[in-house]
Chain A
């Protein structure tokens, strides 16, 4: 449906930089709007709150002819396996899940990366059991950090829309060719309506061309035929161990090569507001929106504060952070999870990492009012004064 309408157009430039129209829609609707323009061959769905609505809408796109095949599978592991099979066959695929679904499907994510598949999966993050919670929480991101997939974290519905399209562009680069997870905090993004800017409906990504894949397509049309498609190295000897290790290294290297494409398509792995400030809040996802409000409150009190929005979690902008925080005395990292994975990442990336305060952390359905962030900043400054500088 897409490709027929857009001959002789640079649709990538149009999608990213062209004229856009206003729409007042939810994050779930934004997912469908992105998929509508992504020229997806096949999508596979399994319901889970808060993801379900987006995949209903993707199903409607299939019924209208925007997607060539779509079905509801039996569980998330089966979905991620079937999406892997479909990607093996050389087409563009999409799926989405949430919290417990992510964990149930976990075994397949390193398979996607190891098989070098440019699958795009949306994660509408939520709590995982026990205790059971369907509330917004992004602990699942901490569990996915080392699966080999690239990870982008959306602040709001507009980001969610843009990042899904950007994800395909980055994932399908021949020197990357890795899966991309696009993450949004469930409910806050999926179930709330906001004004977004969308490119015209008849403007879609060009079709995926498996001929540019760095690994042979699994269709019995692409030699060599005598291959094990996946890096099966089951024998315990030095050669197979080394071959396995070098394959892993190449997956990691491909993720590193994604940095320049993230910079090109997304304008960088992070955004800095008020560079040079002494106090920084560093956050990703909806914690960024809460931090913007906290920043406004702090600046109103005359504090020299700035904000870092981290958009790419994998690859992680370690050197950018290190540079942006060079002159900072304090870095407060608010998170929607109990584990504090973002604070850990930042601590591992910068020097003098006692400057990093991993708080506030909210989870299990708690909200993150901006004053909570401001309080953590003040508490840390007070503690810093007591011990003679922070």
Chain B
């Protein structure tokens, strides 16, 4: 998208809402801004109705700030907590039936490749653990088997948040939750490992407490998906409302997870590693 498309004619600019004018004047379109620049540009996320201390809302905010080309990014989601922030975002966002996101994204990406053969249109799936790992797992995996050139980002709060705190396939073993009154009796579904086996060319596991790594992973995933094939990122986005911790403790919980079951991890094919080296010149990303 050219910025001209959203730029209002000067004589009518004053009737547009302030946040829209702000987006045109100070938005990220066509600029090389990312998570490190947060606070210095108008973000494409707007106000949202997530709970206080919501990990998902921070995950969405960080991932969107890290998009390499927000002006040509289309996000496909699924019903669940993530849509509250995503539906109030200055990019095309769609969610329809629960779990169908990777199929919708497959059709969308292919059609945009037909209609815009000379342009990169980044199709990104952003959805929760229930949508990706439970009800939509077959469609997640098949999009990877087929080698669809899309990025899949799981916002993993390890619970069905929006429906009130039920067990998800990504909940930790033993956790007592609604619909698991005696505790979950099987392990977290190994979607990250399955992504590698199913054909993703790049994968990363990261928490919202590591914004720089998160930004790096999102950037890599989207750029690699343009050329090479499917990519996957799993972001730990803890839920104070359903996991019953104080909203002020979200980052502490995420940091602790980052030292335990959610340690930063990446995989990539040799070809992907070569592209990353060429794109980044071998720069290491470290959290402060």
Contacts and interface: CB of A to CB of B under 8 A. Distances in A.
The answer on A and B forming one complex is yes
Interface of A: 41-42, 44, 68-69, 71, 73-75, 77-79, 81-91, 93, 107-108, 111, 115, 218-223, 225-230, 232, 234-235
Closest 3 CB pairs of A and B: A89-B111, A85-B107, A86-B107
Contact of B74 (A73, A93, A115, A219): A219
Contact of B108 (A41, A74, A89, A228): A89
Nearest to A219: B112
B268 interface: no
A103 to B, nearest CB: 14
Given A85-B111, A91-B115, A218-B108, A107 B97 contact: yes
Contacts of B91: 220, 225
Interface of B: 1, 5-6, 20, 23, 46, 49, 71-74, 76, 83-84, 87-97, 100, 103-116, 121, 138-139, 142, 146
9 contacts: A69-B111, A73-B103, A78-B100, A79-B103, A86-B108, A91-B111, A220-B74, A228-B83, A234-B84
A313 to B, nearest CB: 24
A87 B110 CA distance: 10
A68 B114 contact: yes
B139 A84 contact: no
Contact of A232 (B83, B103, B116, B139): B83
Given A86-B111, A220-B71, A81 B139 contact: yes
A73 B94 CA distance: 21
B110 A84 contact: no
Contacts of B89: 226
A226 B47 CA distance: 12
B106 A82 contact: yes
Contacts of A226: 20, 23, 46, 88-90
Contact of A81 (B74, B83, B87, B104): B104
A225 B108 CA distance: 17
Given A44-B107, A85-B111, A88-B104, A74 B138 contact: yes
A68 B107 CA distance: 12
Contacts of B139: 74, 77-78, 81
A230 B96 contact: yes
Most chain A CB neighbours (cut-off 10 Å) among B1, B106, B111, B116? B111
B108 A85 contact: yes
Nearest to B162: A234
Contacts of B108: 85-86, 88-89, 218
A88 B110 contact: no
A266 B109 CA distance: 34
Contact of A73 (B49, B71, B121, B142): B142
B96 A111 contact: yes
A100 B112 CA distance: 31
B107 A108 contact: no
B107 A90 contact: no
Given A75-B138, A89-B108, A81 B90 contact: no
B84 to A, nearest CB: 8
A298 to B, nearest CB: 48
B97 A41 contact: no
Nearest to B106: A82
A211 to B, nearest CB: 12
B92 A218 contact: yes
B83 A234 contact: yes
Contacts of B88: 226, 228
Given A78-B139, A220-B1, A232-B83, A42 B96 contact: no
A115 B76 CA distance: 14
